Structures are given as C-alpha cells and as structure tokens.
Amino acid sequence: MKKHQGFTLIELSLVMIILSILATGLIASARTYWIQSSINEARKTTQQMKQIIMAFAIIEKRLPCPDANGFPGSGVAGPPDGQEDRVAGACVGEKGFFPSVTLGVSRLDPWGQPYRYMVQAAYADDNAGQMSFTLEDPSATIEVRDAADNPLATDLPAIIYSLGPNTADTLATASDIEDQNIDANRIYVQAEYSPNGSNATRFDDIVVWLSPFELRARMVEARVLPEGF
C-alpha cells in the first residue's frame, strides 16, 4: 500500500509565511502606487485649474472669486457649493475653496476634499472692467516660500492648492511648514514631498501658483491687453 504524499505541518507553515510576505509586499507596493498616482492626479488637476482661471480672466476681465461657503474664517455658513461668492462686484473673501461649479471642473481632490484657492482682490473685484496689475499695498500680496522660508514667488494674483493625502491630520495638527497653508496670512509654502517627516518637516500639500507675468502674457496674447503692457 502506497503512502499518501502531502505537505507536513512544517511545510504548510513555510508556505503560509512565504505567501504572507509576498502579500505584504504587494499591498505595500499597491498602496505606494495609489498614493503616487493620486498625487500626480492632483498636480495635473491644479495645473488645469490654473489654465481655466486664466481663460476666465480673458473672458470676464477678472479672476474668479473663491467659494467662501464653510471656509474657516470666511463667516459664510454651509458646506462648499463650488460657486464663486461675490457681493456688489467684490469677493466675499480672498480665501476659500476653488469655485469648481462656476468653472466646470472637478470639485474634490483624490482624497475627497475640495481644492482651495486664494486670489488677490485687485485681480478679482470689479474695477470698471479693468484688471489691476499694480498693487498699491505690498502687504496684501500673496507669496510662496520654501521650507527654509526663502521666497519662491511673490506678488502673485492667485494660488490653488490641495492639503494632500493627510488633509485630516493637517487640519487637526499641521506640521510646522504645512501650518503656513492653513493659517490666515498670505504666505504659503511649497516644499519637498515628505509625508513621514517629523512635525517640523512633514509635507504633502500640492501648491500651484499663477504669476502676474504669466497672466499678463496670456492677456496680451488674447489681445485683452495691449502689447508692452
């Protein structure tokens, strides 16, 4: 009578250990791929949003106002509705959520949070149909700095950003540099992607800005502004 050949308990245990290691590696790889894919999607979307607000400026002779609904410090109640908020030709606030419904683009980032947006009033409020390219109050300018507090861009008309994968953590306990992107001032930070850094260095926000020169060039190209403006 032949003996039945099969796996011993030790062999089965080894197989299970190997499968567990492989599964752990595959899950980690899939998670890394998903995170990077989501970040790339958010970067692509914010760049598209920048192009859209320039197209809006060509048509309307101004940049769009933010959606102030439910934005911290705006004083406007209710959840974000994606509509720009204006009263008597002026923005309700310079900071808010991106007016996605007004502009016909995606409202939420890959992590289910609305994109955020800040615009200088001089570029968004009505001014006899003319966009202001002279900033009379330097303290009112929007600025982006790096993690070491060095200026990357100044005098910006607008900025578009997502708080990234750790939005909930950022809103609850922001890192030292991420805090700049949720406080009440006009200074933002763009730093190297570091989701697992210390509380001083952790950063995963996606930040895109519009320079005044880029906007002017687009307006001149569309013949909204004269050459040499």
Domain ranges (residues) in the chain? 44-221
Can you tell me whether residue 87 is helix, strand or coil? Answer: strand
Measuring CA to CA, how many Å separate 15 from each of 4, 10, 11, 24, 187? 19, 9, 6, 14, 55
Residue 137 carries which side chain, given as an amino acid letter?
D
Cα–Cα distance, 172 to 155 (Å, whole number):
30
> Which one has a higher pLDDT value, 151 or 14?
151
Q: What angle do CA 127, 136, 214 make, to 5 degrees?
A: 70
Which bin fits 172, alpha (ψ -120 to 50), beta or left (φ > 0)? Answer: alpha
Average pLDDT of 2-10? 63
Whether the pLDDT of residue 135 is over 50: the answer is: no
Paired tokens of 175: 């890192």
Q: Render pLDDT for 90-115 as a digit per residue (tens, 0 to 9).
A: 999 999 999 999 999 988 999 999 99
CA nearest to 145, candidates 95, 174, 188: 188
The alpha carbon dihedral of 141, 144, 150, 155 has a sign of negative
The pLDDT score that the predictor gives to residue 168 is 60
Q: What is the overall mean pLDDT for the chain?
A: 83
According to the model, what pLDDT value does residue 61 have?
A: 87
Decide the pairing of beta strands 90-91 and 95-97.
Answer: unpaired
Please determine, for residue 134, whether its predicted confidence score (pLDDT) is greater than 70.
no
Give the confidence band of 206 by pLDDT, cuts at 50, 70, 90: very high
pLDDT of 127 over the 60 cut: yes
Q: Please give the model's pTM, rounded to 2 decimal places.
A: 0.80
Q: Any idea what DSSP says for residue 166?
A: T
